[in-house]
């Protein structure tokens, strides 16, 4: 039976509960324990799949096809443990499950209430896979006192009471603001947050305090006294230059030891942190830098492309260089102005995924610039489709090449459909059908799918294998019917689905580095195991920087 650590937050949101959870998971792994991390989100959406990136940041996709909170990306990047659909749940999913059971008559005509029916559903979720790992780390989204989060707090309170003594602990993350006028760190917001938490029956065992500076002994003792925790369980969490310093910083503060002490585990195994020291050393002792332009449509919120930003950092770690990623709104390139002055200063160009027509013409122009100027180019998902449309227009001569997706938005048919909505495809032993009229959450190819690479292709050399599995999140596919003509013009289809129907990778052999992928390689990249595509893309950017 797993030991449970429940991570809650107070005072303000966005303090870094996800990173603290991920770092703790990494530290417990370093001591030889197996871990799994989970996220419980209070919002009423069933999942974040239909939420705007401006609302929620990126949607992280698991191997088994779940659309989840971006914090699961942090969990994977820090621990290497592949997330599953059962590692993320929202209030919307919980209530949906309860109402489905009520309609089926599972409750035998009883009045359905938050307690016990909703809280029981949450507790059932917490128990999934409890016999598989040593520690289950469960982060509760939002902050204590949020009305929508109350069922989750009540559920974990009940859960802690129902488990054997010493099986569950609570870690609370708060803010210690610094008041410049008085020159003091103020503990009162944390005291009030803990008071709110205790009022609903939860007493924290470990207190993690975000601050701009170290916590003086006087304030640490005050927090321990008024929040009823041991002084050594008051952990300072200061701002870091890189998030990948977090495991080492939290270890230096004693977070992992405080957690093990709270469980009464002694003596604790010594941690093996060599891989984290290596990662941090590569970040702080980079031997150069490269500039990468990310031409996208959600550039106002960096979290919309969080995994891409981190995967580029991992590529930099692999090559011991600093990657300076700069976000460029694709709509800027939809004007008639020359885009060369903007893009000439970059060593590589990346066009990420997205939905809808807005910004696509700008992405196509960026792909054309990279192709003609021999600048390394990585197109991800829609970025691959933009590369295929660009090649169709300017290499194959189909000036009206476009996508069926944009026809549906415009209500006309103005394109030769290089990209089309695949109405059906084979998944395992069943046929999956998709239609434009389907619910938005039910029309995508989601999760891990296999692909076969062409022997001798650049993609095969980068992966060093011909069989790969990558995660997808998209609705539209490149029409395989255009393969022969495009390959005659120089765009090679170097990766296909096992049945040969769905293009997965395209590349230009006589270009220094020009690759488009239908999947999302960034979702599987880790600092200690950079994704091969990002590692080689950054290598190509380094080579490009030497030519300038």
CA angle 314, 133, 204 (to 5 degrees): 85
Q: Known catalytic residue: 138?
A: no
Q: Report CA torsion sign: 25, 200, 9, 55.
A: positive
CA angle, 365 as apex, 363 and 369 as ends, to 5°?
Answer: 115
Question: Which of these, 340, 358, 449, 441, lies nearest to 406 by C-alpha position?
Answer: 358
- Catalytic residue selected from 227, 470, 522, 531: 522
Distance CA 399, CA 389 (A): 9
Q: Of the listed 138, 209, 227, 381, which one is catalytic?
A: 381
Tokens of 470: 């990558």
Task: Decide: helix, strand or coil at residue 240.
Answer: coil
**Active-site option among 417, 472, 520, 531:** 520
Q: Is 74 a catalytic residue?
A: no
Based on the residue annotation, tell me whether 139 is a catalytic residue of this protein.
no
Q: How far apart (Å, rounded) are the C-alpha atoms in residues 262 and 284?
A: 34
Residue 66 is given by DSSP the state: -
Q: In this structure, are residues 532 and 378 in contact, taking their beta carbons and an 8 Å threshold?
A: no
Closest CA to 423 of 483, 475, 472: 475
Residues in Cβ contact with 35 at an 8 Å cutoff, skipping those fewer than 6 apart: 25, 28, 29, 79, 81, 133, 134, 135, 136, 137
CA distance 236 to 93: 35
CA 392/CA 102 separation, integer angstroms: 53
CA distance 81 to 72: 10
- Alpha carbon 9 to its chain centroid, in Å, reads 20
For 424, the 3-state DSSP assignment is: strand
Structure tokens at 47: 């999942």
Q: Is 472 helix (H, G, I), strand (E, B) or coil?
A: strand
List of residues 6+ apart from 412 with CB closer than 8 A: none
Contact partners, residue 213, CB within 8 Å, separation at least 6: 178, 185, 238
Active centre residues (catalytic): 381, 520, 522
């Amino acid at each position: 039976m797993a030991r449970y650590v429940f991570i809650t937050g107070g005072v303000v949101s966005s303090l870094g509960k996800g990173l603290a959870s991920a770092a703790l998971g990494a530290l417990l792994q370093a001591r030889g324990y197996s871990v799994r991390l989970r996220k419980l989100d209070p919002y009423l959406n069933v999942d974040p799949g239909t939420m705007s990136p401006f609302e929620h940041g990126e949607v992280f996709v698991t191997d088994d096809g779940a659309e989840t909170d971006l914090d699961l990306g942090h969990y994977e990047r820090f621990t290497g443990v592949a997330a599953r659909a059962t590692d993320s749940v929202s209030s919307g999913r919980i209530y949906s499950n309860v109402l489905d059971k009520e309609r089926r008559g599972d409750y035998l005509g009883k009045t359905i209430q938050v307690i016990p029916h909703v809280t029981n559903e949450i507790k059932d979720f917490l128990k999934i896979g409890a016999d598989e790992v040593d520690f289950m780390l469960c982060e509760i989204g939002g902050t204590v006192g949020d009305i929508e989060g109350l069922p989750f707090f009540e559920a974990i309170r009940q859960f802690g009471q129902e488990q054997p003594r010493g099986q569950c602990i609570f870690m609370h993350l708060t803010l210690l603001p610094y008041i410049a006028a008085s020159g003091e760190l103020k503990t009162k917001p944390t005291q009030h947050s803990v008071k709110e938490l205790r009022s609903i029956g939860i007493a924290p065992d470990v207190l993690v305090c975000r601050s701009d500076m170290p916590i003086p002994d006087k304030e640490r003792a005050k927090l321990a006294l008024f929040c009823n925790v041991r002084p050594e369980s008051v952990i300072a969490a200061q701002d870091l230059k890189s998030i990948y310093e977090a495991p080492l910083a939290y270890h230096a503060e004693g977070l992992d030891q405080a957690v093990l002490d709270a469980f009464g585990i002694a003596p604790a195994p010594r941690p093996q942190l060599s891989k984290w020291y290596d990662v941090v050393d590569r970040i702080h002792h980079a031997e150069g830098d490269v500039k990468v332009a990310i031409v996208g449509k959600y550039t106002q919120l960096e979290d919309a492309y969080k995994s891409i930003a981190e995967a580029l950092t991992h590529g930099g770690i692999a090559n011991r260089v600093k990657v300076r990623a700069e976000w460029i709104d694709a709509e800027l390139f939809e004007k008639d102005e020359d885009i060369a002055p903007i893009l000439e200063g970059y060593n590589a160009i990346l066009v990420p995924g997205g939905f809808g027509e807005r910004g696509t013409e700008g992405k196509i122009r960026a792909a054309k610039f990279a192709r003609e100027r021999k600048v390394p180019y990585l197109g991800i998902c829609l970025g691959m489709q933009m590369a295929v449309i660009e090649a169709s227009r300017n290499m194959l001569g189909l000036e009206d090449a476009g996508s069926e997706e944009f026809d549906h938005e415009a209500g006309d048919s103005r394109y030769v459909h290089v990209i089309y909505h695949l109405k059906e495809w084979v998944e395992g032993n069943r046929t999956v059908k998709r239609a434009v009229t389907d619910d938005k959450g039910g029309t995508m190819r989601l999760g891990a799918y296999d692909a076969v690479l062409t022997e001798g292709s650049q993609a095969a050399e980068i992966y060093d294998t011909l069989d790969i599995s990558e995660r997808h999140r998209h609705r539209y596919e490149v029409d395989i019917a255009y393969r022969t003509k495009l390959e005659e013009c120089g765009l090679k289809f170097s990766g296909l689905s096992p049945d040969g129907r769905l293009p997965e990778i395209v590349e230009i052999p006589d270009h220094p580095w020009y690759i488009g992928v239908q999947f999302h390689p960034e979702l599987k990249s880790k600092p200690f195991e950079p994704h091969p595509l990002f590692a080689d893309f950054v290598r190509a950017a380094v080579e490009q920087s030497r030519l300038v």
